[in-house]
Structure 1
Amino acid sequence: MKMHWTEAQRYCRENYTDLATVNNINDMKELKKTVNNNRVNVWIGLKRTGVYKWKWSLGDPVKYLNWETEPSTDTNNCSVMRNGTWRQQDCNVNMSLICYNDSSKSYIIDSSTTTWREAQRFCRQYHTDLISVRNQTENQLINNIINDHQSSVWIGLFRDSWEWSDNTDSGFRYWRSGQPDNFGGSEDCTEVRMWDQGQWNDAPCSNSLTFVCQEDELILIQKNLSWTEALRYCRKNHVDLVSVDSEKIQLWVKAAVHQASTAEVWLGLRHFCSLRIWFWVNEEIVFYQNWAPGNETAVGGSESKAKSGAVQSGVDHLWISLPESHKLNFICTRKEK
């Protein structure tokens, strides 16, 4: 079907979850496989707003900032690191760059100078993306690398006024060269040009296009509740706390915790003290496992110290044992098994 962007959004929300959100390059590959037609343009859920926010090119949530001086509201919408601190920079200035390679978990500095967008394109072509700096430890490590080569380099932090329909705070963008250009002053929605390697273009929301919906089986709840409170919330508002009884669901969990505001996120996993076993709230025994070392046996001996299972929201996404009184974000499932 072909619809205006707002009509497509309404259709997706009524029949699925929302218009599609693209969090990273892997999501982009999946979207291309889903459409499987190199001759069309399709709507996704990205729309221009009037509010500018800082985001990471790699799609990481912005939880740590280290500005040299507080950013202003001028048109310098990109960022460089210099002497361990960050500053705003005109995106069209030529600077050195530093990439992140997810396969080798390494940082790669390149002394050739380019604009921010060219730097992003280079990192995505040869590595994974421009770097994200998620905490003080990473900031110091990256600063040590930069000081050995160059005084100022592009990092992956940029500012734009585009937001996803489902309110996901992802900064991943896949614009074609020269876009978005807001031609005519009314191009506020995002089309994916499948005939142009799936690159994005801004277009009038009144255009009638095919569109891509997403259907999320899991949903991250950014409320800080105890395990029991989280269980009650999921069962009242959705279906249940998530039971991660396969690698497939673990991958869904990994995607869901991307936007978590707590270091750990509750799963539907609890220890049965009298039987000395862990079980899922869907009544499955724990066969598939992804424990951090030692956590599968780290259990309490009394109800006051009852333990439940959570997943790390950081890099490794391993399961850990925590007192169920801790207040954490949590993941609900939206469908019956």
Structure 2
Amino acid sequence: MDTCLFSEKVDVFCLVMLHKNLLIIVIIILIILKQDKNSCLEYIFPLFIYRAKSHRYCRENYIDLVTLEDWTDMEELLALENVMSTESAWIGLRKAEHKQTWGLKEPTNLGDEYCSVMDFNGKFQDTKCEMDRSFICYERMF
């Protein structure tokens, strides 16, 4: 990793090293989560990709992109989110009548903001779908 810090140019090697480190973090998180059998759902935290690809990835390899149906789902996910150190993550979001889980002045519905993310405070924000972010998949139901 020192090569990346002191190199004049950013190359593919640095990017590969970054992804290897992220993969190690994901594996550690999965080991921790596998030990908690009190949860009705298991979650997976893959690497950073844009929304459409993350949704397809979850459906092909797990159950789906996580969707929050009620406040209980939100609390369970927030407990796991504290384990991760990420700014925001892709989630599946269903339209609800209440706005209690949206961030301040959200959703703004500006420009191309057709997707939603959950920020580090557990609040939803609308955002552009093409941005690379971590995402959360349902792994399986017990």
TM-score in terms of structure 2 length: 0.65
Contact 2:30–2:44 (CA under 8 A) maintained in structure 1: no
Which structure has more RCO (C-alpha within 8 Å, separation ≥ 6)?
2
Per-residue CA deviations over 1:159-180 (Å, capped at 9, x if unaligned) read: xxxxx794339xxxxxxxxxxx
Q: 2:42 & 2:88 partners in 1: Cα distance?
A: 16
Q: Which blocks of at least 5 consecutive residues in structure 2 are unaligned? A: 1-27
Map Cα deviations across residues 237-279 of structure 1 (whole Å, 9 max, x no partner): 111111112000001110221233420011102xxxxxxxxxx
Paired residue type of 1:310: V
Tell me the secondary structure at the aligned position of residue 287 of structure 1.
coil
Question: Does the 8 Å contact 1:218/1:253 carry over to 2?
Answer: no
Query: Would the aligned equivalents of 2:51 and 2:115 in 1 still touch at CA under 8 Å?
Result: yes
Q: Secondary structure at the match of 1:334?
A: strand
TM-score for the superposition, normalised by structure 1: 0.30
In the TM superposition, what is the alpha-carbon distance from 1:292 to its structure 2 partner?
A: 0.6
Is 1:319 the equivalent of 2:124? yes
Indicate how the Cα distance of structure 1 residues 258 and 165 shifts in structure 2: closer, same or farther if over 3 A, else same: closer
Verify the 8 A CA contact 1:261 1:329 in the aligned structure 2: no
Structure having the larger proportion of residues in strand: 1
> Is 1:241 matched with 2:51?
no
Distance 2:86 2:123 in 1: 14
Identity %: 17
Q: Tell me the CA shift for residue 306 of structure 1.
A: 4.2
Q: 2:109 aligns with which of 279, 299, 324?
A: 299
Secondary structure of the equivalent of 1:224? Answer: coil
* Alignment partner of 1:268 is 2:92: yes
Which one has the bigger helix percentage? 2
In the TM superposition, what is the alpha-carbon distance from 1:328 to its structure 2 partner? 1.0
Q: Aligned residues, how many? A: 111
What amino acid does structure 2 have at the position aligned with 1:294? Answer: K
Is contact 1:234-1:240 (8 Å) kept? yes
Q: Give the aligned residue type for 2:31.
A: N
Q: Deviations along 1:59-81, whole A, 9 cap, x unmatched? A: xxxxxxxxxxxxxxxxxxxxxxx
Structure 1 stretches lacking a partner, 5+ long: 1-163, 170-211, 270-279
Instruction: Give RMSD over aligned pairs.
Output: 2.7
Q: Higher Cα Rg: structure 1 or 2?
A: 1
| Aligned: 1:255 with 2:74 | no
Match of 2:97 among 267, 281, 287: 287
The aligned counterpart of 2:32 is 168
The residue identity in structure 1 corresponding to 2:32 is T
Contact 1:222 1:260 in 2 (8 A): no
Give deviations 1:130-163, integer Å, cap 9, x for gaps.
xxxxxxxxxxxxxxxxxxxxxxxxxxxxxxxxxx
Please list the CA deviations of residues 286-322 of structure 1 after superposition, one character each: whole Å capped at 9, or x if unmatched: 23540011112x1144xxx242111112xx3111111
**Distance change >3 Å, CA 335–CA 311, structure 1 → 2:** same
Which letter does structure 1 place at the counterpart of 2:119?
Q
1: CA distance between counterparts of 2:122 and 2:29? 26
Per the alignment, residue 227 of structure 1 pairs with 51
How do 1:1-337 residues align onto structure 2 when only pairs under 5 Å count?
Answer: 166-168=30-32, 214=37, 215=39, 217-269=41-93, 280=94, 285-289=95-99, 290-296=101-107, 298-301=108-111, 305-313=112-120, 316-335=121-140
Counterpart of 1:225, as a letter, is I
